[in-house]
Amino acid sequence: MKRIITALSAVVALSLPSLVLAAVWTIDPEHSHGGFKVRHLMVSNVKGHFEKFSGTVGGAKVSFAPSVLNLVW
pLDDT surpassing 50 at residue 18: no
Q: Please, which residues have CB within 8 angstroms of residue 62's CB and are 6 or more apart in sequence?
A: 20
pLDDT at residue 65, as a whole number = 64
Q: What is the mean pLDDT of residues 47-73?
A: 75
CB 20 within 8 A of CB 62: yes
Q: Tens digits of per-residue pLDDT, 31-55? A: 888 888 999 898 899 999 888 888 8
Give the span between the Cα atoms of 26 and 56, in whole angstroms.
4
